[in-house]
Each structure stands twice: as C-alpha cells, then as structure tokens.
Amino acid sequence: MDNRKPKQTTLLLCIFFGWFGAHRYYVEKWPTAILYTVTLGLAFVGWIVDIFMIASDQFTDGAGQPLLRANGQPAVPVQPMRPMPQQPVRPMPQQPVRTMPQQPQGTRFTTPVTPVQPVRTTPVTPAPQPAQKMVTRFYTCPFCGKAQAQYIAENKTFAFCGKCGQRIDLTLKGPEPKKGERPMTFTVGAYNGTDSFIFISYAHRNSDKVIPIIAKMQADGYRVWFDEGIDPGTEWDANIANHVRSCDLMIAFISREYLIRKTARMN
C-alpha cells in the first residue's frame, strides 16, 4: 500500500498553515512539526524554505519518500540502476617455467662484493644577497593627480597610487617641469654624515606635504635627516634619540595625525 502524500495537498497546507507546521504533521515528520509549532515555523524562515522545496520537488515525507504529483507519479523520479556490462574474462597466457641447472654437490660459488665508497659532498654556501636600499619616492599620480610619498626599494620601478589604486611606472619621464614646479617623481633621502644637520619630525600620513618641503630644503643646500634614514636592524627609539641630541636644529610639522602618534607612543 502506497502511503505517500500528494504534493498539491502538502503545498496548500504549507502555504496557509506552514507557520504552524501543518504540512509536516501531514507528511508525518513529527519532531520537526512540533518544532515548527513552538517556533512559528522557525521564525517564518523555515516556512518559506519549505514552500520552495515542495514546489521544486525537493521535499520528502517522514519515511524519506518523494511526494506524489497529480498524475500519481513521484515528484522526484527514481532513476533505475543500469547494470554494468560484464567484460569477458581473458585467460592469461601461461609462461614457461624456467629451471635452474643443478650444480654438482660440494661446489660453492661466491660472488665478490665491491664495497660502496661514500660520496663526498661539498656544502654549497649561498652567495650573500646585497641589502636593498630603501628610499622615499615622491610622485604625483598621472591618473587622479594625487601627490604622495612611499618608502620603497631604491631599484623599484613602479608603485600603486594610494587613492585610485592604479599602477604607476616611476621610470617614465613626463614633460619637462616648468620653473618652480616639481617633476612627477623624485627621490628624497636622509642625510648620513658627521656634519651639522636639521632634524625633521612629522607624521607619515602627512608625507605628501612634508616630503616636497624636505626636497626643497635639500635642493637649497641644507642637510636634512628624517626617520627614513634609520638603518634596518637598529633600535628605532635609540636611533631617533641619538639624532635629536646631535642635530643643530629640529623642525616638527605639527598636525592632528602627529599629535595622535605622539600620544600613542607616550602611552
């Protein structure tokens, strides 16, 4: 006897009383039906999901059987299993049995064993890689016009704009700048020597405004040191303190970002 439930009746019960779990009582899914009654169809979400599952023939009854359509066919037709074609068994060709010739008794044959000499290997010492020199490269994005500064390797030939994200070729030379104008890209380096110098303190977020000023000071003959001149592997705070003590003049570019950074370092 086929006890499967019709799809049309189940769908109508789900549409009008699905929030109460009536369609799950109808198909004998007792645990989830009681859960739907208590939670109002799992906050109406499960109710909506069941409507789409019944309509798309993905809903089954309590026994895991598909629902019946109006023509009496199951909503999810079961594909019959196709028997695999049997391949004929091919007999393996019999190989002739090889017999070893009998040796006369009392005769022993031995094979000399050559000892294996260990292979001597010479450890390969990797060639020392030259340290990459980092420089501050100032450039103006030709796409959006954003002026910005990045701390990158000296031999790096491209950068990405921090505003529009476009890749910028730093090797391309634009038109010759007019008198008093900055070129599209130039490199600013910190002074590294024993003569008197000026110490510049600023927030990195203000690099697009401070780096051109440093470049103008260097072009006018001033020796300027800023924190991009710290060598990798050295103590940051100790290096800063040593340059503050040895400088002849200190200039601080005060901004909101500068005050936030100083407050955070003191905390």
**Domain ranges in the chain?**
1-75, 134-175, 189-267
For residues 183 and 175, is the Cβ–Cβ distance under 8 A? no
Q: Where are the beta strands (DSSP E) in the chain?
A: 134-140, 147-153, 158-160, 167-169, 185-188, 198-201, 224-225, 249-252
Q: How far apart are CA 116 and CA 142, in angstroms?
A: 69
Rg (CA), the chain: 42
Query: How far is the C-alpha of 58 from the C-alpha of 80, rounded, in Å?
Result: 19
Neighbouring residues of 53: CB distance < 8 A, sequence distance ≥ 6: 59
Q: What is the pLDDT along the chain (267 residues), one digit of tens a residue?
A: 567 788 888 888 888 888 888 888 888 888 888 888 888 888 888 888 888 888 888 888 878 888 888 766 666 554 555 666 667 767 777 776 676 666 556 555 555 666 767 767 677 777 666 666 777 888 788 889 888 787 778 788 888 988 898 888 887 665 666 666 666 677 787 888 889 999 998 887 888 888 889 888 988 889 998 877 566 666 777 888 888 888 999 999 999 888 887 665 655
Q: Which two tokens stand for residue 267?
A: 């905390």
> Crossing angle of helices 7-17/45-55, nearest 10°?
160
Other Cβ atoms closer than 10 A to 171: 7
What pLDDT is stored for residue 19 in this prediction? 82
Which two three-digit tokens encode residue 264?
A: 């955070």
Handedness of CA 219, 224, 227, 228 (dihedral sign): positive
Tell me the CA end-to-end span of the chain in Å, nearest whole number: 80
Quick one: pLDDT at residue 78?
Answer: 47
Residues 6+ away with beta carbon under 8 Å from 169: 157, 158
Burial of 138 (C-beta count, 10 Å sphere; 0-12/13-18/19+)? buried
Distances 82 to 75, 79, 85, 214 between C-alpha atoms, Å: 21, 9, 9, 81
Q: For domain 189-267, give its CATH number from 3.40.50.12160, 3.20.20.10, 3.30.210.10, 3.40.50.10140.
A: 3.40.50.10140
Which pair of structure tokens corresponds to residue 59?
A: 């809903």
> DSSP class of residue 250?
E
